[in-house]
Amino acid sequence: MPEGQQPILELQGITKSFGGVEALRGVDFALLPGEIHGLVGENGAGKSTLMKIIAGVHTEFSGRFLIGGQETHFRSARDAHAAGIAMVHQELSVAPDLTVAENVFLGNQPTNRLGLVQWRRMAREAGEQLSRFGIDVDPMSRLGDLPIGLQQLIEIARVLFSGARIVILDEPTSALSPPEVERLFATLKRLREQGTAIVFISHFIEDILRVSDTVTVFRNGRKVAETASAATTKGALIEAMIGRGGEALEHSYSDDLMLPRPSDSSVVLKVDQLSLARSLQDVSFEARAGEVLGIYGFMGCGQQELSRILFGKLKPDAGTLAVDGKPKTFASTAAARRAGVALVPESRRAMLFHQEPVYKNISISILDRISSLLLKPAQEREIAQRQVEQLQIRPPVVGLDLGMLSGGNQQKVALAKWLTYPPKLLVLCEPTRGMDVGAKNDVINIVRDLRAKGLAIIVLSTEPETVLSLADRILVLKRGAVVREFKNEPVSKDRLLEAA
């Protein structure tokens, strides 16, 4: 970090609370021009809250807020934007039905004197901007037709080239493939040379260490460390994040990990020559009882479609499924559930009822078994209570609305819902995405318990760590086809990435 430079942004003693709960306690934060500043911390540590204060989303807080040495108070995100602050939020926020060029110029399309949009100019300039970023697409194509990773890259490009002096990126790499990450990093470094200040939030600590100049660590609403990236290590950062020895919880997986000998227990699911339009080509595999099958691939490799087919939400164009040796064609998710298949999709919002209490979320999958006509709420609560205690869901109150729980605990409820069933085959999509280290570890242990009980489990993930920490056997999916199977052999993050 260059010394003696005037910070472009300075926050002093920031405290922010939500309904009596302090999300930030007396945080100081300074950002220098031409600096890439990494932020790490577990979920709920206060990173996003601080960034939302900077971006003018949260306007009520106490403490001093200075831009270029001048005290400022934003009343809205529009004020922050006018002051040269732009943010890319974690969730994709693009207009899929508009063209690429319209998305790039969203809100400030070039117009002529009559106020009409200058389409040709817009397309040309959008194309130039994107090619500076290494993206080669037709600016007039519909954005929604592009792969998700590319859409995210275009959104980031839009913000990076908006002329903002301060750019905040919240988990920008989660949907990107390694080459796309490289392109993003190269662009960030170029912007840094032009004097733009960049804040980079990520769960991927390697990414933070690679690209940032300074790292700040948050824990429980406080800033617990700020250090030059070159002077720290992943282990030290994890330790600062969770406040206890972190090495054991998350190994780097850069070393080889030995996969066990393939199980010879009974085949629960047999998938043969599955194909779906542009998403899947001739996918065949087996899942066995008491085994975790990992399926790894980049975003858009066909994982999502595959999981939906297994649970009867999508119909394949060709190919067959067999559960316990009996051929099945799932006409609906209800049919898949009856056959003993359960799915936890990557989005918790898609499978949980946020306005309903925890026990109703858990009992929904077994309601037809405990009651034929009339509900038995006492029994539902009892079953839910058992799961809540077993999975250590906090707070352990089954009557609480689900929306009151943290993300990690919601994910456990999503698992609890199927554990009471229990299925023969459990399909988990991104079971640990966006979770803090502690909750991740809990989920890993739950999955291992289930394997020990003889369930067949399929874990689909775009994060190599997730697959490596859970799977006994790993398939690599690339552009909808199985390109490699790892079994009874050493495997590492590098080998996985290489195969994908």
Partner 1 sequence: MASSETAPAAGQRAKGLAPFLRSQMRNIAPFLTLIFLSGFFALASPSFATIDNLGNILTQVSVTGIIAVGLTFVILCAEIDLSIAGIANVTGIAVAYFTLQESYVNIPNIPLAGAAAILLAILLCAALGLVNALGLTVIGIPSFIMTLAMMQIAAGISALLVRGQIAYKVPSLITTLGSGSIGGIPWIVIVAAIMLLGGHLVLTYTRFGRYVYMVGGNREAAEYSGLNVKLILGSVMVISAVCSGIGGMLGVAHFGSAQQNEFDTYLLDSIAAVVVGGTSLFGGRGGIGNTIVGLFVLGVLNNGLDHVNIDSFLKILIRGVILLMALIINVYAQRLREKAAD
CB-wise, 399 or 490, nearer to partner 1?
Answer: 399
* 70 to 73, 77, 239: CA distances (angstroms): 10, 18, 36
Q: Which of 46, 127, 357, 431 binds partner 1 (CB under 8 A)?
A: 357
Contact 104, 158 (CB under 8 A): yes
Q: Should residue 230 be labelled a site residue for partner 1 when binding is judged by CB under 8 A?
A: no
Q: Should residue 315 be labelled a site residue for partner 1 when binding is judged by CB under 8 A?
A: no
**Conformation bin of residue 338: beta by default, left when phi > 0, alpha when psi is -120 to 50:** alpha
Q: Virtual CA dihedral for 300, 305, 306, 309, nearest 10 degrees?
A: 180
Q: Should residue 21 be labelled a site residue for partner 1 when binding is judged by CB under 8 A?
A: no
Residues 6 or more apart from 349 whose CB is under 8 A from it?
none
Which region among 4-12, 204-212, 290-298, 329-337 touches partner 1 (by CB under 8 A)? 329-337
CB-wise, 90 or 332, nearer to partner 1?
Answer: 332
CB-wise, 248 or 374, nearer to partner 1?
Answer: 374
Query: Which residue shows structure tokens 């990450």?
Result: 181
Q: Is the peptide bond before 395 cis (omega within 30 degrees of 0)?
A: yes
Q: Should residue 354 be labelled a site residue for partner 1 when binding is judged by CB under 8 A?
A: yes
For the bound state, the minimum distance from the C-beta of residue 23 to partner 1, rounded and expressed in Å, comes to 13
- Torsion angles phi and psi, residue 209, rounded to 5: -65, -35
Which region among 1-9, 142-150, 284-292, 359-367 touches partner 1 (by CB under 8 A)? 359-367
What is the distance between the alpha carbons of residues 86 and 99, in angstroms, rounded to a whole number? 22
For the bound state, the minimum distance from the C-beta of residue 460 to partner 1, rounded and expressed in Å, comes to 15
Q: Should residue 220 be labelled a site residue for partner 1 when binding is judged by CB under 8 A?
A: no
Q: Should residue 355 be labelled a site residue for partner 1 when binding is judged by CB under 8 A?
A: yes
Query: Which residue shows structure tokens 């194309």?
Result: 127
Q: Should residue 284 be labelled a site residue for partner 1 when binding is judged by CB under 8 A?
A: no
- Torsion angles phi and psi, residue 232, rounded to 5: -135, 175
Q: Which of 356, 389, 494, 498 binds partner 1 (CB under 8 A)?
A: 356
CB-wise, 403 or 490, nearer to partner 1?
Answer: 403
Alpha-carbon Rg of the chain, whole angstroms? 24
Q: What is the pattern of x (binds partner 1, CB under 8 A) and - over residues 72-111?
A: ----------------------------------------
What is the CB neighbour count within 10 angstroms for residue 346? 18
For the bound state, the minimum distance from the C-beta of residue 459 to partner 1, rounded and expressed in Å, comes to 17
Report which DSSP code applies to 197: E
Sheet with 341-344, edge to edge strand ranges: 341-344, 425-429, 456-461, 291-296, 473-478, 481-486
* Interface positions, 383-402, toward partner 1 (CB under 8 A): 397, 399-401
For the bound state, the minimum distance from the C-beta of residue 187 to partner 1, rounded and expressed in Å, comes to 34
Q: How many CA atoms lie within 13 A of 316 on its CB side?
A: 27
Residues of this chain that interact with partner 1 (CB under 8 A) are: 19, 311, 313, 332-334, 336-338, 342-343, 345, 349-357, 360, 364-365, 367-368, 371-375, 377-378, 381, 397, 399-401, 403-404, 417
